[in-house]
Amino acid sequence: MGNRIVLVFTILLACQLAGEVIARLLGLPVPGPVLGMVILFVALVIRGHVPDDVGVVTGGLLQNLSLLFVPAGVGVMLHAGLLVQNWLAVSAALMASVVITIAVTGLAMRWMRGFAAGDEPEGQP
């Protein structure tokens, strides 16, 4: 089982690397790891299910996800003065991103619901 976990972790990192390479070669404004997740998602959709080993590895990563927020928290504390000086711009950006995220998520869910029901999805979500 140990070798399979290493293989799955290697596949996850290879997807991230592929996403990073694609983003840099094409000059896309999308982070490489996001493209890597898209690559992994497409591969799993083609496969038709998530293999148990992938579930074990990703479950372990998700259980320790909070550790990844430590550097961000340190950065916030380190630059707290900048946040205080620019609180209005930061607040506006946060509010705008929340509204845009909710709108895009709603539109995507509406489009996917129609797609899952067997309707032909139209060109616009």
- Encode pLDDT of 33-64 as tens digits: 999 999 999 998 998 888 888 888 888 888 88
d(CA 32, CA 15): 9
pLDDT at position 122 over 70: no
Residue with the bigger pLDDT between 26 and 1: it is 26
* Domain edges within the chain: 1-63, 71-125
- The separation between CA 5 and the C-alpha centre of its own chain, rounded to angstroms, equals 21
d(CA 97, CA 119): 30
This model's pTM is above 0.85: no
Residue tagged 């929340």 (tokens): 98
The span from the first CA to the last CA of the chain, in angstroms, equals: 42
